[in-house]
Structure 1
Amino acid sequence: MRQTILDLEESRIREVANAGMGRSDVLAFWFGESDEGTPEVVRQAAMESIARGETFYAHNLGLPELREAVAQYMTQLHGPVAADRIAITSGGVNALMLAVQALVDAGDEVVAITPVWPNLTAQPLIMGAHLRCVALAPQADGQWALDMEALLAAITPATRLLVLNAPNNPTGWTLTRAEQQRILAHCRSTGTWILADEVYERLYYEPSAQGCAPSFLDVAEPQDRLVVVHSFSKSFLMTGWRLGWMVLPPGMAPQVGKLIEFNTSCISVFTQRAGLAALQHADAITAQVVGHLRRCRDTLVPLLQAVPGVQVAPARGGMYAFFRLAGQDDSLEAAKRLVLQAGLGLAPGNAFGPQGQGWLRWCFASRDPQRLQEGVRRLQGWLASASQL
């Protein structure tokens, strides 16, 4: 076994979840998914595909009709994107890993913006890269901000790849168009590739003519060293389907197709038929999902803000409330005790990097907002009990 693999940290989110799985009394908000099922029209498309016997291998890069539909979807949001720049993948995480495999050699320097979903920092390490992290900073109101000068100083001609996720999991931080333009111009000058995880772009709560967060695709040229990763998981309530896509520079897709062959071969046809149905009903599905998530956010955050010792701000994007809990400096320990003592399942902030220590992540994607209210009641009760010890 490679020492690099032995040295990888296990998921601290899973560590907390394992402590509470199987307990019917636990309110679980630890994973990044809604507790609402996939829309019927999407499930029906998959079932009809199976009934037709579409259970054979598919093209490495995905069904041509799905690649075309994704290209049209991206074009509506961000301007012209050709179908030959699209690769269909086994979820967003597979797309991210494929991009890192395609771009990073052992010994290469990779810069990542943190706190961030731990897969994004683990993947370069798996490839033997040297990882440098540039930290977002929490502001007094609970929002997080990027020190642009620190980021640009960290990206040099020796930097092979910049990895970023915006809207960000876990903080809800989102890049502005001006920030994207500065980052892109700087990476052009250094020859650095950008890997942009934009899977939460439709889960965006600020005013937007496009109905999504700012994307690097809005400011980049097709030939830029840019790979943008998306997923059906969040916006279409399809986490378990494992279906995503990549937007690549022209000419790169056939090379990624080779990597897909040696990783997963292809995505099942019936899963791709489900994705095609999701895109055909994208406006209705995403409008419903985003509207509901906004109501969930606006239910949870004011309740948390009313709890003494809690520092939190409404997320600009994503599906999480990331909050600091005064006096709870060990996030992992606090999350475990919340499960065991209060029946409340949250993700520890230090699962997303050392900058998240002392913070907790609460996924507010819940069908029933009363679950959120009950969760805050349990948090308050736990804090009151802890203060008596």
Structure 2
Amino acid sequence: MRQTILDLEESRIREVANVGLGRSDVLAFWFGESDENTPEVVRRAAIASIERGETFYAHNLGLPALREAVADYMTRLHGPVDAERIAITSGGVNALMLAVQALVDAGDEVVAVTPVWPNLTAQPLILGARLRCVALRPCADGAWALDMEALLAAITPATRLLVLNAPNNPTGWTLTRDEQRQILAHCRATGTWILADEVYERLYYEPSANGCAPSFLDVANPQDRLVVVHSFSKSFLMTGWRLGWMVLPPGMAHHVGKLIEFNTSCISVFTQRAGQAALRHVDEITPRVVAHLRLCRDTLVPLLQALPGVEVAPARGGMYAFFRLAGQGDSLATAKRLVTEAGLGLAPGDAFGSEAQGWLRWCFASRDPQRLVEGVRRLESWLKL
């Protein structure tokens, strides 16, 4: 076994969840997914595909019809994107790993903005890269902000890849278009690739002309050293389907197809048919999902803000409330105690980076907002112990 793999930290989110999995008395908000089922029209498309006998291998890069549908969807949001720039992947995490495999050699320097979903920092380490983290900073109101000067100083001609997730899991921080322009111009000068995880772009609660968060695709040229990753998981309620995509510079998709062959070969056809149905019905599905998540956010956050010793701000994007509890320094220990003592399942902040020690992540994507109300009641009772 490679020492790098032996040294990998296990997911602390899973570590907390393992304490409470199987317990019917625990309200679980630890994972980043809704408890709402995938829309029926999407499920029916997959069933119909199976009944047609579409159970064989597919093209490495995905069904041409799905690549075209994704390209049309991206074009509608961000301007012209050709289908030849699209690669369909086995989920967003697979797309991220493929991008790192395609761009990073052992010993290369990778800069990541943290706190962030731990997969994004583990992937470069798995490939033997040298990882440098630039931390977001918590503000007085519980929101998080980027120190642009610190980030640009960290990106030098020696930096092979910059990894960014915005809207951000777990903090809800989101890049502005001006910040994206600054980062892109700097990375052009240093020759640094940008890997932009934009899977939460449609889960955005600020005014927006195109109904999504600012994207690097809005400011970049097709030839820029930019890979943008998306997923059907969040805004289409398809977490378990494992279906995502990449937007690549022209000419790169063929080589990514080779990597897909040696990783997963292809995505099941019936899963891709479900993706096609999701895109056909996007105007019915996604606005409803976003409106409901806004209701959930606006239910949860004021209740948390009313608790003494809680520091939290409404997320600009994503599906999480990220908050700090006064006097609770070890977030992993706190999260475990909340499971066993309060029946409340949250993710520990330090799972996303050391700078988030003492914070907790609450996924507010709940079909019934009253579950959030009950969760806050349990937290309040626990704080009084």
Q: TM-score range by the shorter chain?
A: over 0.9
Secondary structure of 1:58 counterpart: coil
Gaps of 5+ in 1: none
Correspondence for 1:225: 225
1:49-76 deviation per Cα after TM superposition (whole angstroms, max 9, x unaligned): 0000000000000000000000000000
Correspondence for 2:47: 47
Correspondence for 1:191: 191
1:343-366 deviation per Cα after TM superposition (whole angstroms, max 9, x unaligned): 000000000000110000000000
The separation in 2 between residues aligned to 1:160 and 1:4, in whole angstroms, is: 20
Aligned residue-pair number: 385
Secondary structure of 2:87 counterpart: strand
Deviation of 1:7 after TM superposition, in Å, equals 0.2
The separation in 2 between residues aligned to 1:91 and 1:60, in whole angstroms, is: 14
Matches within 5 A, 1:59-98: 59-98=59-98
Correspondence for 2:210: 210
Gaps of 5+ in 2: none
Deviation of 1:254 after TM superposition, in Å, equals 0.4
Correspondence for 1:370: 370
1:176-225 deviation per Cα after TM superposition (whole angstroms, max 9, x unaligned): 00000000000000000000000000000000000000000000000000
Correspondence for 1:56: 56
The separation in 2 between residues aligned to 1:260 and 1:139, in whole angstroms, is: 41
Correspondence for 2:26: 26
Deviation of 1:284 after TM superposition, in Å, equals 1.2
The separation in 1 between residues aligned to 2:296 and 2:22, in whole angstroms, is: 25
The separation in 2 between residues aligned to 1:241 and 1:297, in whole angstroms, is: 25
Secondary structure of 1:112 counterpart: strand
The separation in 2 between residues aligned to 1:232 and 1:162, in whole angstroms, is: 23
Deviation of 1:276 after TM superposition, in Å, equals 0.2
The separation in 2 between residues aligned to 1:361 and 1:272, in whole angstroms, is: 31
Letter in structure 1 aligned against 2:310 = V
The separation in 1 between residues aligned to 2:371 and 2:348, in whole angstroms, is: 20
The separation in 2 between residues aligned to 1:144 and 1:289, in whole angstroms, is: 25
TM-score by length of 1: 0.99
The separation in 2 between residues aligned to 1:236 and 1:21, in whole angstroms, is: 25
**C-alpha root-mean-square deviation of aligned residues, in Å?**
0.2
The separation in 1 between residues aligned to 2:133 and 2:280, in whole angstroms, is: 39
Q: Please say if 1:37 is aligned against 2:45.
A: no
Correspondence for 1:312: 312
1:124-174 deviation per Cα after TM superposition (whole angstroms, max 9, x unaligned): 000000000000000001110000000000000000000000000000000
Correspondence for 1:133: 133
Equivalent pairs: percent with the same residue?
Answer: 87
Letter in structure 2 aligned against 1:77 = L
TM-score by length of 2: 1.00
Correspondence for 1:246: 246
The separation in 1 between residues aligned to 2:120 and 2:206, in whole angstroms, is: 25
Letter in structure 2 aligned against 1:185 = A
Correspondence for 2:200: 200
Letter in structure 2 aligned against 1:348 = P
Correspondence for 1:162: 162
Secondary structure of 2:384 counterpart: helix
Letter in structure 2 aligned against 1:174 = T
Correspondence for 2:283: 283
Secondary structure of 1:199 counterpart: coil
The separation in 1 between residues aligned to 2:18 and 2:346, in whole angstroms, is: 12
Correspondence for 2:344: 344
